[in-house]
Amino acid sequence: MTSPIQKNLVEKNAGYASHFTKGDLALPPAKHYLILTCMDARIDPAAAFGIDLGDAHVIRNAGASARDGQRSIIISEQLLGTKEIILIKHTGCGMLTFSNEDAHGLVKKNLGPSAAVEIATLDFLPFSNLEDAVREDIAYLRKSATVPEDVVISGWIYEVETGKVRQVV
């Protein structure tokens, strides 16, 4: 059975594909950078950060976590030639609202003991201070042996209330 969301995807894609003319773009991002931002549905990276199709890699995960995004960052840099990382967290992030204990408890309550055992050592990477979290992720990237020293790294906060960004690091 096809859900309404799936039907919408097919319909919207048909409209998009009917005007699509950029099938010849190169695999590596043309501007050699990547953005790591949150998966929050209120963020439209292309529109908010001026990214044209083919310009950059956009990595999204809960909280714009550098640790969680590390696999994709390595692939982007080592296989596809990116030379700059722009990390962008945001105001009103859900990662500010819970602890690891809360998340583990919720999984156990909603999904049962087997699921709780499966994720017993999982760090959900929540944070309690937005600016500190940006600084910590930037420090993590700068110390990581998987990020070459010549890679430019910066940390930002996107304000979901205004659409503006501000640099932290």
Instruction: Dump strand ranges (E) for the chain.
Output: 33-38, 56-61, 84-90, 152-158, 165-167
In the prediction, which pLDDT does 17 show?
A: 98
In the prediction, which pLDDT does 127 show?
A: 98
In the prediction, which pLDDT does 142 show?
A: 98
In the prediction, which pLDDT does 117 show?
A: 98
What is the DSSP code (8-state) at residue 27? S
The pTM of this model reads 0.96
In the prediction, which pLDDT does 137 show?
A: 98
For residue 127, give the 3-state DSSP assignment: coil
Span 46-53, average pLDDT: 98
Span 73-97, average pLDDT: 98
Average pLDDT, the chain: 98
In the prediction, which pLDDT does 122 show?
A: 98
What is the DSSP code (8-state) at residue 26? -
- How would CATH label the architecture of 29-96+126-167? 3-Layer(aba) Sandwich (3.40)
pLDDT digits (tens, 9 = 90+) for 122-143: 999 999 999 999 999 999 999 9
Residue recorded with tokens 């005007």: 19
| Percent of the chain's residues with pLDDT above 90 | 100
Span 34-54, average pLDDT: 98
Query: What band does 58 get if pLDDT is binned at 50, 70 and 90?
Result: very high
In the prediction, which pLDDT does 143 show?
A: 98
Total length of the chain: 169
